[in-house]
Amino acid sequence: MKTPDPGTWRRTSPFAILFFIGRILRLIAKNAWQSLAPLFALLVAYQGDLVSKLTLGGIAFGVVIATASLLSYWFFRYRISDDAILIRQGVIKKKQLDIKFDRIQGISTQQNPVYRALGLVTVNFDTAGSAGNEGNLPAVTRALADSLRARIGKNRIPADGAGSEAGVRAAALLRLDWRDMVRIGLADRRALIVFAVIGPLLERLGDDAERIIANYVERAADGAFQFGMAGGITIIIAVIVSVLLVLALISVGAAFLRFHNFELWLDGSTLRSQGGLLTRHEHSMDLGKIQTLRLQQGIVQRWQRRFRMTARQALASGKQRSGKVFMIPVVTAELADRLRARFLQPEAGRLTQDPRSDQFTAVSPYYMRSRILFIGLLPAVLVTVAFRESFGAAALFVMLWLPLVSAAAYRSWRRAGFAHDDDEIVRRSGLLGYRTVGLLFRKVQRVTVTQSRYQRRKGLASLRMHMASGSVRVPYIEHETAKRLRDYILYKVESSRQAWH
């Protein structure tokens, strides 16, 4: 008799039911709430005591969900064979999923508080060429996740002894503490979006405040009580400041939730991170798959002297818009350079991505001209002419747009620049903050040199390097430089024997 595969069909831990409950609820929230809403309405409209009906409905709903997740758990089985992981699931409609180990790009794990207490994790498999995760293994032990990870590591990098054993982890490259959480929270742009959303509410609040102030002022006038306008303004300022404070607090809280105890480390040639307060998020990216490295700095981060670093992987084919992004939420320029040297060694990583460095070559100042002309002067003149009749000389105020655009053009010209050596190029750009993008020449997919009429007259051109993760443009450089770079990139790509992905 032949010996079967070492693995046998197994069920995951019963705590996986939690995972299935979550999944069913999400499914209902996404798809089925329209069909449930009339049911709910019927329940309410039907005669009888509302409270008891709702209790009954709630119980019925709970029972249905519980049964469904219990069944999902019961029919979810998996097996780990020599070269693949096999998953069988589905209560009525059976689903079979076989994922070959060599197709798995990486594993990410999640841990909610209950799982953490029990040492369980939910494993997600990232596979190439699929939108999002394909497979999940809910509530398996940490040891199993680690052994799977080791298996995949072995498949991906044969003969590279550096792949760490399960459970043994290399020293962290970066650890974030509470000060970093505060930095992340304060620099988060989403706080502004929240502000925009509750803006109208704030206006209502403003109205109320006005009424209250008016009341006070009236009373002050009545009782010769010295309160006056100054007091009113103080109240308004206090309201605004406290709202901003609350927003900042929410934002910092979100940073704690997402990145608490964030750790970054290298596992062989795979970059990994882990962080999160309640649910631990774990991410990974193969160093060889990195297409571009980005360092970004907004206004707040400039004041903090910190950056956000992201590594981008190729876009999956098909409709998926954004490729996989590995994020390091907060780093200093020095650490970022040390990290990129680690990530790109031995072939590259000698350049710095620190925007303040003096290695960058400036682009031509003619860069400003088209911006001032087409974004500044042209609209300003058109609007002035259009409103001349109705507003008269006041229409000339529109011309104030021009110095604004000019200042912006000047700033973005000052920030634009590039630096390269034999293997890589770093482009710098920005308006209020800074952004630098670094890439390896040999990973370029195609190159375009473009010239407008004006650029032709001045002997300038723009170089665009298309990567698998999007394109990077170096604007307004000497035409000769652009052509030389293009020819060199083609040489690097065409003589490269390494995989670009």
Partner 1 sequence: MFENPEVAIDELPGTDDLGWQTLHPLYARRIRVQALIVLGIIVVAISAVNFLPHIPLLPIVVLYVLWSITAMVSLLWPGLSVPRRGYVLRDKDIVFRKGVIWQSVTAVPFNRIQHVETSNTPLDRRFGLATLQLFTAGGSGGDLKIDGLGKDIAERLRVFILDKAGASIENA
User: Which residues are near partner 1 by CB under 8 A?
Assistant: 291, 314-315, 317, 323, 444-453, 456, 466-471, 483-484, 486-488, 490-491, 493-494, 496-501
Centroid of chain to Cα 55: 41
Cβ distance to partner 1 smaller for residue 388 or 464: 464
Q: How far is the CB of 463 from partner 1 (least distance, A)?
A: 10
The least distance separating partner 1 from the CB of residue 497, rounded to whole angstroms, comes to: 6
Smallest separation (angstroms) from partner 1 to the CB of 121 = 32
| Run of H or E residues at 95 | strand 95-100
Between 379 and 470, CB nearer to partner 1: 470
- Of 88, 71, 74, which Cα lies nearest the Cα of 8? 88
- Choose between 17 and 461: whose C-beta lies nearer to partner 1: 461
For 95-114, give one letter per residue: b (16+ CB within 10 A) or e.
eeeebebebbbbbbbbbbee
Nearer to partner 1, 219 or 456 (CB): 456
CB 126 within 8 A of CB 5: no
Identify which of residues 302 and 466 has a Cβ nearer to partner 1 in the complex.
466
Describe the strand order of the beta sheet including 95-100 as a list of residue ranges. Answer: 77-80, 84-89, 95-100
Strand partners, 457: none
Q: Could you tell me if 470 and 486 are in contact, meaning their C-beta atoms sit under 8 angstroms apart? A: no
Select 391 or 491, whichever has its Cβ closest to partner 1: 491
- Which of 205/490 has CB closer to partner 1? 490
Residue 493 Cβ, how far from partner 1 at the closest point, in Å? 5
Taking the complex as a whole, how short is the minimal distance between the CB of residue 370 and partner 1, in angstroms?
A: 12
State which H helix or E strand residue 477 sits in: strand 470-478
Please work out, in degrees rounded to the nearest 5, the angle formed at the alpha carbon of residue 263 by the alpha carbons of 269 and 137.
Answer: 75
d(CA 103, CA 156): 9
Q: Report whether 201 contacts 246 (CB < 8 A).
A: no
Residues with Cβ < 8 Å from 227, sequence gap 6 or more?
216, 217, 219, 220
CB distance 283 to 124 below 8 Å: no
C-alpha distances in Å from residue 483, one per residue of 133, 366, 462, 486, 487 = 41, 19, 10, 5, 6
Give least dist CB 42 to partner 1, A. Answer: 47
Q: From the CB of 451, what's the least distance to partner 1, in Å?
A: 5
Which C-beta is closer to partner 1: that of 357 or that of 445? 445
CB of 153 to partner 1, least distance (A): 22
